[in-house]
């Protein structure tokens, strides 16, 4: 298994089916929301470990409810897909080739509409949960997150309703998302490099943000070994504690 291999269309569908399955908590993410959530984690200059963000994938409301996996093998497979998608998105954003993953809705006239609300909700959740670096952006550079606020918050939805042409305003915001992600990545670049230098000074930790070691970890890591996500905790107390097996 190649941990940096992008998911193909069938694998994206497989992951989305899992996220929307009965075994997941009621407030779990779908694939588009996950994509937006990951974008917020990636542009964040702080390195956020799977043990910190996975609970919010399972439970957007409280970050608590774990999924019910039918087997360890199935849990390994879904974690592999999640980590590979994170790694691919990290590579795309850092190399300025990112395209957000939206659902396509067919309209009555036969045209297609890209639904970005779920994606933006995921992005805004990433800002809310891991908000330390975001205060300056929200106070001094709100234009950098304007499309996400407009499409991913109740305040934004109210603004759209009052715009006089909410369809066009929605389209404009949707088209601005990729550029906003690129601008945010650039905005945090200096802080990101400083944080990376700090991680490089601590031996034994992955400074890149690429989650290579974490992929497939339930198979390869003993429960009493140090978790490969880099948290410093035992695996059973960290990423190994996430799945509930039935």
Residue 219: pLDDT band (50, 70, 90) is: very low
Q: What is the mean pLDDT of residues 147-152?
A: 94
C-alpha span between 217 and 222 (Å, rounded): 9
Query: What pLDDT does residue 232 have?
Result: 61
| pLDDT at 133 exceeding the cut of 80 | yes
Q: Are 147 and 176 spatial neighbours (Cβ–Cβ below 8 Å)?
A: yes
Compare 203 and 128 and report the one with higher pLDDT. 128
Query: What pLDDT does residue 213 have?
Result: 40
Span 53-96, pLDDT tens digits: 999 999 999 998 778 888 888 988 999 999 999 999 999 999 99
C-alpha span between 127 and 108 (Å, rounded): 35
pTM: 0.80
| pLDDT at 220 exceeding the cut of 70 | no
Residue 218: pLDDT band (50, 70, 90) is: very low
**pLDDT above 90: percentage of residues in the chain:** 53
**E strand or H helix at 103:** strand 103-106
| pLDDT at 138 exceeding the cut of 60 | yes
**C-alpha to C-alpha distances, 92 to 14, 98, 176, 187, 210, nearest whole angstrom:** 21, 5, 17, 17, 12
Query: What pLDDT does residue 111 have?
Result: 65
Query: What pLDDT does residue 234 have?
Result: 64
Query: What pLDDT does residue 245 have?
Result: 36
Query: What pLDDT does residue 212 have?
Result: 43
- How many helices (DSSP H) and strands (DSSP E) are in the chain? 11, 4
Among 24-28, 61-65, 133-137, the range with the most confident prediction by mean pLDDT is 133-137
């Amino acid at each position: 298994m190649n941990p940096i291999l992008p998911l193909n269309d069938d694998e994206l569908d497989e992951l989305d089916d899992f996220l929307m399955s009965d075994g997941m908590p009621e407030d779990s993410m779908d694939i588009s929301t996950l994509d937006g959530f990951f974008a917020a984690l990636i542009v964040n200059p702080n390195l956020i470990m799977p043990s910190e963000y996975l609970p919010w994938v399972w439970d957007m409301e409280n970050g608590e409810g774990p999924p019910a996996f039918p087997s360890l093998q199935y849990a390994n497979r879904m974690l592999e897909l999640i980590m590979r998608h994170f790694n691919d998105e990290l590579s795309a954003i850092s190399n300025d080739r990112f395209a957000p993953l939206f659902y396509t809705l067919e309209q009555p006239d036969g045209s297609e509409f890209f639904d970005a609300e779920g994606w933006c909700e995921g992005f805004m959740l990433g800002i809310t949960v891991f908000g330390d670096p975001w205060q300056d952006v929200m106070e001094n550079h709100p234009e950098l997150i304007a499309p996400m606020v407009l499409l991913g918050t109740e305040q934004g939805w109210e603004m759209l309703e009052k715009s006089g042409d909410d369809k066009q305003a929605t389209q404009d915001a949707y088209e601005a998302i990729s550029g906003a992600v690129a601008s945010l990545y650039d905005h945090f670049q200096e802080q990101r490099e400083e944080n990376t230098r700090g991680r490089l000074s601590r031996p034994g930790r992955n400074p890149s943000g690429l989650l290579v070691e974490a992929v497939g970890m339930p198979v390869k890591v003993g429960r009493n070994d140090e978790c490969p996500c880099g948290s410093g905790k035992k695996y059973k107390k960290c990423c190994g504690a996430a799945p509930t097996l039935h």
